[in-house]
Chain A
Amino acid sequence: GQQVMQIPQYQHVQEGEDFTTYCNSSTTLSNIQWYKQRPGGHPVFLIQLVKSGEVKKQKRLTFQFGEAKKNSSLHITATQTTDVGTYFCAGPLGGNQFYFGTGTSLTVIP
């Protein structure tokens, strides 16, 4: 079954509101990556977190890796219409197997 879960599955926000998606793994991860997929497109890498408790920022996006390295979050401040898409977390499980989360689809209402 799915070993990397994300919540929520869907999120609708008014433009300017904040957005957060959460990622939970059944096992400890050596690192976690985040990807964005625009509608009709392919996943594009955003960032990688490696250290326990790590926090990284990219403009309005803030990424956190949990202390136990089993969960992560992506927070977007003041969403814009360009943020529309599905956000996936992904991590290595069982050696060379790279598993993706179920994704959170973000809709931004202008």
Chain B
Amino acid sequence: NAGVTQTPKFQVLKTGQSMTLQCAQDMNHEYMSWYRQDPGMGLRLIHYSVGAGITDQGEVPNGYNVSRSTTEDFPLRLLSAAPSQTSVYFCASKTGGYEQYFGPGTRLTVT
């Protein structure tokens, strides 16, 4: 199993550009989530999904969209990138009330 994969690993955007961060898991996990990590802030939940077709907002959803058309994939879309969205983005998945498995992260810089 590949676990949780994320692409790209690094990305530089200009303010106003849009892009999609990809996340996929091959563990048949129902629950998937996106976090952003900023220095001193820990990991903050952006959006999450409890299954295909179901998504919900987390703590910091503004400026981000998600969709979950399949169990495996959970892409995160930045609609109009802003410098405040410069961060490291992690995708995670889990089953039931157990541990979350994290992807390797995407390091995004918005200039």
Residues of A within 8 A of B101 (CB): 45
- In the complex the two chains form, is A99's CB within 8 Å of B40's CB? no
The one of A45, A88, A92, A98 in contact with B42, judged by C-beta atoms closer than 8 angstroms, is: A88
CB of A58 within 8 Å of the partner chain: no
Distance A48 CA – B59 CA, assembled complex (angstroms): 22
Residue A68 lies at the interface, judged by CB distance under 8 Å to chain B = no
Residues on the A chain within 8 Å of B45, using CB: 97-100
A92–B40 Cα distance when bound, in Å, is 21
Expressed in whole angstroms, the Cα–Cα distance for A99 and B35 within the complex equals 10
Please give the number of chain B residues whose Cβ is less than 8 angstroms from any Cβ of chain A in the complex: 25
| B41 / chain A contacts, CB cutoff of 8 Å | 2, 102
B97 adjacent to chain A (CB < 8 Å) = yes
Q: Shortest beta-carbon distance, A66 to chain B, in Å?
A: 19
Interface residues of A (CB under 8 A from B): 2, 4, 6, 9, 30-31, 33, 35, 41-45, 48, 88, 90, 92, 96-103
B75 at the interface (CB under 8 A from A): no
0 or 1 for each of B75-93: is its CB under 8 Å from A? (1 = yes): 0000000000000001010
**B-side binding surface: helix, strand, loop or mixed?**
strand
Asked if B97 contacts A96 (CB within 8 A), the reply is: no
In the bound assembly, the distance between CA atoms of A44 and B101 in angstroms comes to 7
State whether the Cβ of B71 lies closer than 8 Å to any Cβ in chain A: no
Residue of B nearest to A101 (CB): B42
Give chain B interface residues in 24-47, CB to chain A under 8 Å: 31, 33, 35, 40-45
Q: How far is the CA of A97 from the CA of B56 in the complex (A)?
A: 9
Which residues of chain A come closer than 8 Å to B59, judged between CB atoms? 97, 99
